[in-house]
Amino acid sequence: MNKEQSAITLGEVTRERLHAYYRGFVSDPDIFMDMSKFFTYHYDPARIDAYCASLRPRENRKDFLILRNTDPIGELSLKHIDYEKSQCELSIHLQNDSVKGKGYGTVAERLALEYAFQKLKIQTVLADSVQKNRRSQHVLEKVGFTLTHEDDMFKYYRCDRAAFFGTK
């Protein structure tokens, strides 16, 4: 891990950090399989305030901002946490192209897996990726996810606790 990558942490979602993140956010066409649904994002402070208010603590979801030093560069969630099944789903979005391809997402996903396995005591983390999003698929596989199946829109992945710690 280089110096820039070691500056990556998962931080608390705050109003100020969300605004800083979304002021620099750019929609990524790679996450839209159906390009008729693609939109150009425009920063709207009132919309971000409403989004922030909706992110109240919930037992079945943990939301984080990916921080490079103190700057928010991504959002990451562990969602649909099911303690009975001992699984959850990982979701990640990086702010814009200036923070992609530098290993930040890889570090953030590893931190999220460690959190899920160690803090939440989850056994399996699931994820999916739009078929055309090769970058996301590469990162998922690099951190220990394995492809389980796919359909016309998505590739579906899983990472099990034992495999993650066995391959680190």
What would the pLDDT profile of 136-149 be if each residue is shown by its tens digit? Answer: 999 999 999 999 99
| Average pLDDT score, the chain | 91
CA distance 132 to 34: 10
| Contact predicate 11/111, CB 8 Å | no
| Number of structural domains found in the chain | 1
User: Torsion over CA of 37, 38, 41 and 46, rounded to 10 degrees?
Assistant: 10
- Supply φ then ψ for residue 75, to 5 degrees: -120, 145
Length of the chain measured in residues: 168
Both structure tokens of 135: 């970058």
What would the pLDDT profile of 66-118 be if each residue is shown by its tens digit? Answer: 999 999 999 999 999 999 999 999 999 999 989 999 999 999 999 999 999 99
CA distance 96 to 4: 17
Residue 168 has pLDDT above 50, yes or no: no
What would the pLDDT profile of 117-134 be if each residue is shown by its tens digit? Answer: 999 999 999 999 999 899
Strand partners, 159: 125
CATH of the domain at 115: 3.40.630.30
- The CA distances from residue 144 to 11, 120, 135, 147, in Å, are 22, 18, 15, 10
Nearby residues of 99 by Cβ (< 8 Å), 6 or more positions away: 68, 73, 74
Look up residue 22 and give its amino acid.
Y
Rg (CA), the chain: 16
- Domain region containing 122: 3-167
